[in-house]
Amino acid sequence: LVNKPEVVVFSVPSYACQRRTTLENQNTTLTDALSLLAENAELSNEDGRGVAFRRAAAVLKVLPSAVQSMSQLTGLPCLGEHSLRVIKDILENGASNEVESTKKSEKYKALKVLTGIFGVGAKTAARWIREGIHNLCQLRESGHTLNRAQQAGLEHYDDINQSVTKTEAEVIQEMVEKAVASVLPGAQVVLTGGFRRGKMSGHDVDFLITHPEEGREVGLMPKVVSWLEAQDFLLYQKTTRNSYLESKEGPGRPPSNMDRFERCLSIFKLHSVENQAAVQDVTKRVEGEQRSDEQTRPWRAVRVDLVVSPFSQFAFALLGWTGSKLFERELRRWAGYEKAMCLSSHALYDNKQRKYLRASSEEDIFAHLGLEYIPPSERNA
Ligand code: GTP
Ligand code: MN
Ligand code: MN
């Protein structure tokens, strides 16, 4: 009798919003590789390819154990020819040539550096690269006129490209809560984005603000911003007002994916406890030891996104701003293709019944969509 080695064959539903994706990942080598190719595609303005790699990575993230052989992947959704080739290379050779050469390529490195500037997207970076600009030095020397966001982005480049810790996010949350309570008592502040999903670090800190009495939230953002500015908590901010009602949407018109909440993209000046300790250390240090401004100043710059939502749309806004980006995209795809509904961060429209479906919680929205409820900590697709 010959014992066949047991091969675990995995089974995974096709939409990420049907799956529970925690932060635990048994296949980080494979998912890091596919995520890098996704990022490279997105930075090269090839969004279709980017999504394909993101979907493939997301399927591997939910597998309960490390993939050992290609045969285990039979029948899994979202694994296209290209992704399978990358996986095969890694399983057989320990690495993928495509991934390794992408990492080393001048174009990828330049795109990473330039889009690391807040306010610079893939299109602007590509234009600069065509002009021979590959790094910050060359950008500064080029004499290009930068907009206000990009100037702030360049000025605080190192801080913004250093990830934000959970502890820092909590300090920022206290600042935002204090600001909001001061200008509109009773208003609620909720931490969204990656930190709501349980991540220990992030590229920014995201908040959603609302007030249980509909209408009280109108005009809130400028007041919050003024309060924060008066405390010298802001290094940069750009507020965009709510344009939902003026848009072509409204009753009978299905909502688009673009959301129109009043929002503020900002850079906070965060005085941290650790930084203050570092400053005191420095003052005690013997003279002559050179330290850069960066290391001695008692604060750091942190990207913060603030969004204000009317209470009636709060559940949609919360679901829409919690992420992950792929999870959101999959929810909208599920709604459209499987349910003939249109989901946005404002509303859910049923094309068959020709009406908006109300929701006062995220659970309500999953129920309308015929999906099992997935809590934030399991939306890490
Ligand atoms: P890190 O910040 O990198 O840790 O991850 P994150 O998941 O928090 O990403 P990010 O801050 O970029 O976005 C948080 C959530 O807000 C995601 O679900 C995005 O889909 C959503 N989001 C970001 N920008 C927009 C936008 O312009 N419109 C809408 N509707 N959602 C957005
Ligand atoms: Mn975020
Ligand atoms: Mn954000």
pLDDT, tens digit (0-9, with 9 covering 90-100), for 235-294: 999 999 877 766 555 444 545 555 789 999 999 999 966 655 555 555 555 544 555 555
pLDDT score for 254 = 46
Establish whether residue 193 lines the binding site of ligand 1, counting it when its CB lies within 6 angstroms of any ligand atom.
Answer: yes
Q: Is the CB of 376 under 6 A from ligand 1?
A: no
**Residue 97 predicted with pLDDT over 50:** yes
ipTM computed for the complex: 0.97
Indicate the top mutation candidate among 328, 342, 344, 362 to test ligand 1's pocket, ranked by most ligand atoms within 8 A of CB. 328
Of ligand 1's listed atoms, the one at least distance from the Cα of 259 is 30
Q: What is the predicted pLDDT for the residue at 366?
A: 99
DSSP structure class, residue 234: E
Proximal ligand: closest to the CA of 194: 1
What's the pLDDT score for residue 63?
98
Annotated active-site residue 204? The verdict is: yes
Which ligand is nearest the CA of 201, by number?
Answer: 1
The band of 331, judged by pLDDT with boundaries at 50, 70 and 90, is very high
Task: Name the closest ligand to CA 202.
Answer: 1
Please tell me if the CB atom of residue 324 comes closer than 6 angstroms to any atom of ligand 1.
yes
- Check residue 251 and give its pLDDT: 45
Q: Supply φ then ψ for residue 124, to 5 degrees.
A: -60, -45
Residue 295 has pLDDT above 70, yes or no: no
The closest of 56, 65, 25 to 199, measured between CA atoms, is 25
Is 305 labeled as catalytic in the residue annotation? yes
Residue labelled with tokens 């911003």: 225
Token couple for 285:
């240090």
Closest CA to 264 of 210, 208, 311: 208
What's residue 288's pLDDT?
46
Residue that the structure tokens 């709604």 belong to? 335
pLDDT digits over 117-134, tens only?
999 999 999 999 999 999
Does the pLDDT value for residue 306 go beyond 50? yes
Instruction: Give the pLDDT confidence of 146-202 residue by residue, as tens digits.
Output: 999 999 999 999 999 999 999 999 999 999 999 999 999 999 999 999 999 999 999
pLDDT number for residue 371: 98
Burial class (CB in 10 A: 0-12, 13-18, 19+), 187: buried
d(CA 141, CA 145): 11
Residue 285 Cβ inside 6 Å of ligand 1? The answer reads: no
pLDDT at 349: 98
Average pLDDT of the chain? 92
Q: Is the pLDDT of residue 78 over 50?
A: yes
Report the nearest atom of ligand 1 relative to the CA of 197. Answer: 7
Check residue 296 and give its pLDDT.
Answer: 79
Q: Which atom of ligand 1 is nearest to the CA of 204?
A: 2
**pLDDT value for 245:** 64
Is residue 47 within 8 Å of 122, Cβ to Cβ? no
Pocket test for ligand 1, best of 199, 206, 309 (most atoms within 8 A of CB): 206
196-230 residue pLDDT tens: 999 999 999 999 999 999 999 999 999 999 999 99
Residue 302 scores a pLDDT above 80 = yes
Output the pLDDT for position 7: 77
Q: How far is the CA of 265 from the centre of ligand 3 (A)?
A: 8
Q: How many whole angstroms from 368 Cα to the centroid of ligand 1?
A: 23
- Ligand 1 atom closest to the CA of 202, numbered from 1: 4
What's the whole-number mean pLDDT along residues 48-67? 98
206 is catalytic: yes
